[in-house]
Amino acid sequence: MVRSKGLVAAALAVALFAVPAAAFASASKIGSPGLGDRFFPLAGNGGYDVGHYDLRLAYDPTSHRLGGVADITATTTQDLEQFDLDLRGFDVARVMVNGAPANFRRRGQELVVRPATTLHAAEPLHVVVAYAGVPHAVIDPDGSLDGWVTTDDGAVVLSEPQGSPSWFPVNDYLTDKATFTISMTVPNGLEVVGNGLPDAPVRHGATTTHVWRERQPMAPYLTTIAIGKFAITRATTRTGIPIINAVDPRLARDSRAALEHVGDIIDWESSVFGPYPFDSVGATADYAPEVGYALETQTRPTFAFPIDTLSLVHELAHQWFGDSVSLQSWPEMWLNEGFATYAEWLWTAHTGGPSPQQSFVGTYNAIPANDPFWTIAPGPATLPSAVDLFGDQVYLRGAMTLQALRDTVGDDAFFTIVRQWAATHRGGNANTTEFIALAERVSGRPLHPFFQAWLATPSRPPLPAGANRGGGTRGTAPSVRHLRRR
Ligand SMILES: [Zn+2]
């Protein structure tokens, strides 16, 4: 059965689908310490927009020390006599702004920087931070580990939603996407796997420097590095996209079958969702039992356990829904997880299993109307708290919302909506209000009452007319395996 949380959605007077405003005014010359996310108000910072991160780091798996230089190229969006980066832990040795030493201090998860001279709006901002220390994972509101995680042969990074500052100074928000070059120096004999594509490793004495480049804009939480012993294999999809897979030898046997499908899954998902949005793909499996989930790190999802095909389908679907089309704020999470869960239902049917309709109605009928599951509406204004971010409602009610939409508008309109969603917002950020507008435009139907019932009402919505067709929908317990996916 579905694991349900006892929380009751109390947001009765909340405006439908309202997006939390970036609540900090910028009249002063102080960049705000956060962007006002309803769940993580201090995530990100005001006053600038990052274009590129060049991280030049070294990690010693014996002492667990990580250190080096973060070289950040940005543009100011207001006059600035002070601004913040997000950074958790570490000793900061120096901060340079546009070539001059800057004053700085620490305040919780903020690195507060005062440049030597006031910066003007819409000008280049070049920040260099030299730092070192022993990184620590972040404990999320739901108790899970997030960020830099030490493993028995190195480390692995999965940073949704707030782990990026556990390993580099960052404007840690969904809306500030940037390109990345990550250079990691480790002892010889260890591999390093990241996002995008690698340079040839360069050996010097007892260490080797590995460089990974992600040339498409990436939200910071999707950055990853895995350090340790890996078997690395290469292939290409039918359309020529390079595949790089990396597997901890202990997980190789149980991951082999799924990894053989990376190309098939990407080719099939491209046929359903539209062109693959990035220039490389693959998967990483690392032995990190205390993590307990997989994450859609950009171009190369990271699994903390052996890779199974359905989890791989889910994380690769996120390359379109989450990584390319990213959320505008964290409470919009159903847009990521509803689509990725729905992709599992599509793949299940594609490979001879139950249809998405059967998965939908089976799940719906398995959860009685009086089950607490239905008291959490997963829409951006009603999702109660950060504890619910990875809850069943976000995944299952999110996926059910999509099949109910398909039942309501028909197959042609539905898949047009899905493909236009991926194409229109490719490489950017989007929200539920925009999704509803697109669905109404493509289908020519008023859909506000439909989405209000499915996303914003803390009770079980009615099934669309005819959704129970086909019989055999007495209700089967929905899979809870998705709880191990992000
Ligand atoms: Zn997911």
Other beta carbons within 10 Å of 425? 21
**CA 391 / ligand 1 centre spacing (Å):** 11
Q: What is the mean pLDDT of residues 24-34?
A: 81
7-11, 86-90, 112-116, 120-124: lowest mean pLDDT where?
A: 7-11
What is the Cα–Cα distance from 172 to 170, expressed in whole angstroms? 5
473 Cα–ligand 1 center, Å: 26
Q: 207 CA to middle of ligand 1, Å?
A: 36
What distance in Å separates the CA atoms of residue 476 and residue 481, rounded to the nearest whole number?
14
pLDDT number for residue 338: 98
Separation of 4 CA from ligand 1 center, angstroms? Answer: 18
Distance 336 CA to ligand 1 centre (A): 6
pLDDT band at 20 (very low <50, low <70, confident <90, very high): very low
Handedness of CA 363, 367, 373, 376 (dihedral sign): positive
Ligand 1 mean position, distance from CA 482 (Å): 8
Q: Which helix (H) or strand (E) holds 178?
A: strand 178-187
Please give the distance, rounded to the nearest whole angstrom, from the Cα atom of residue 389 to the centre of ligand 1: 11
Mean pLDDT over residues 343-354, rounded?
98
If you average pLDDT over residues 413-420, what whole number do you get? 98
State yes or no: pLDDT of 476 exceeds 50.
yes
CA of 334 to the centre of ligand 1 (A): 9
On the question of pLDDT at 421 being above 80, the answer is: yes
**Residue 27 pLDDT class (50, 70, 90 cuts):** low
pLDDT given at position 466? 77
What is the pLDDT confidence band of residue 5, given thresholds at 50, 70 and 90? Answer: very low
Task: Quote the DSSP letter at residue 297.
Answer: -
Ligand 1 centroid to Cα of residue 131, in Å, is 32
pLDDT of residue 118: 97
**pLDDT band at 475, cuts 50/70/90?**
low
CA distances from 293 to 158, 225, 485 (A): 9, 16, 5
Report the separation in Å between the CA atom of 212 and the middle of ligand 1, taken as the mean of its atom positions. Answer: 24
This prediction has a pTM of 0.93
Q: Which residue has the tokens 């290409």?
A: 236
Residues with CB under 5 A from ligand 1 (ion): 337, 340, 485-486
Report how far ligand 1's centroid is from the alpha carbon of 296 (Å).
7
CB 361 within 8 A of CB 467: yes
Q: What is the mean pLDDT of residues 142-157?
A: 96
State the Cα–Cα distance between residues 14 and 177, nearest whole angstrom: 29
Ligand 1 centroid – CA 213 distance (Å): 24
In the predicted structure, residue 405 carries a pLDDT above the cut 60 = yes
Q: Which residue has the tokens 């909340």?
A: 14
* Cα(390) to centroid(ligand 1), Å: 8
DSSP reduced 3-state for 238 = coil
User: pLDDT of 427-449, one tens digit each?
Assistant: 999 999 999 999 999 999 999 99
Domain extents in the chain = 327-484
The fraction of the chain above a pLDDT of 70, given in percent, is 91
pLDDT at 225 over 70: yes
Mean pLDDT score, 31-45 = 97
Instruction: Give residue 64 CA to ligand 1 midpoint distance, Å.
Output: 30
397 to 136, 402, 459, 465, 474: CA distances (angstroms): 34, 9, 11, 18, 18
CATH topology of domain 327-484: Neutral Protease; domain 2 (1.10.390)
- Between the CA of 99 and the centroid of ligand 1 the distance, in Å, is 41
Q: What is the pLDDT of residues 278-327, one digit of tens each?
A: 999 999 999 999 999 999 999 999 999 999 999 999 999 999 999 999 99
Pick the more confident residue, 4 or 120: 120
Confidence tier at 12 by pLDDT (50, 70, 90): very low
**317 CA distance to ligand 1 middle (Å):** 8
For residues 479-486, give the mean pLDDT.
60
